[in-house]
């Protein structure tokens, strides 16, 4: 079982990686970020919205039993995110909702069972953290491929530079 500090570092990394990709999408511009790139969720913007949906589902709705609040928020649907400002507001909503979970996290809390209605089985909060993190990594891989197809350098997502601020060359 990971330590609480390990989980906090992982979620910090996820946020910084997401932010790196959001900043890069802004540099592409709204039209290019919305273009269908033939990745799982179509566009880069829709993929970023999906990643936020995943974090919100596992670490807000399931982990904090805030299902009704999450379901009621129409701004979480990709078609409802019609500007970078709306994407930023949704991002802030998700990360802010995760903060209390992380602040109060304990080893016992990581082992606590959570319910996710879309999957059969028994899951712990630790499982939910890993699911959200690994699913984000998978989808960011798709976005990286979209950048390569555009002949662009993809955003930074390496663990060490994102957690330490270390600058690396891409040579």
Q: Which fold has domain 4-164?
A: 1.20.120
| pLDDT > 70: percent of the chain | 97
Q: What is the pLDDT of residue 156?
A: 82
Q: How many whole angstroms separate alpha carbon 21 and alpha carbon 90? A: 15
Q: How many whole angstroms separate alpha carbon 17 and alpha carbon 3? A: 21
3-state helix, strand and coil shares in percent for the chain, rounded to the nearest 5: 70, 5, 25
The mean predicted confidence, pLDDT, of the chain is: 93
Where exactly are the structural domains of the chain?
4-164
- What confidence tens digit (pLDDT) does each residue in 14-68 have? 999 999 999 999 999 999 999 999 999 999 999 999 999 999 999 999 999 998 9
């Amino acid at each position: 079982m990971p330590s609480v500090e390990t989980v906090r570092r992982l979620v910090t990394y996820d946020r910084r990686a997401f932010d790196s990709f959001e900043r890069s999408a802004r540099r592409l511009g709204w039209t290019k970020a919305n273009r269908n790139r033939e990745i799982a969720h179509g566009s880069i913007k829709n993929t970023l919205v999906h990643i936020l949906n995943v974090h919100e589902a596992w670490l807000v709705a399931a982990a904090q039993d805030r299902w009704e609040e999450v379901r009621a928020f129409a701004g979480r649907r990709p078609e409802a995110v019609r500007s970078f400002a709306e994407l930023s507001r949704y991002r802030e909503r998700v990360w802010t909702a995760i903060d209390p979970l992380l602040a109060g996290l304990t080893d016992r809390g990581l082992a606590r069972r959570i319910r996710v209605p879309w999957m059969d089985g028994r899951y712990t909060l630790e499982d939910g953290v890993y699911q959200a993190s690994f699913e984000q990594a998978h989808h960011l891989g798709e976005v990286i491929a979209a950048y390569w197809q555009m002949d662009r350098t993809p955003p930074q997502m390496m663990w060490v530079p994102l957690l330490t601020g270390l600058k690396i060359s891409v040579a």
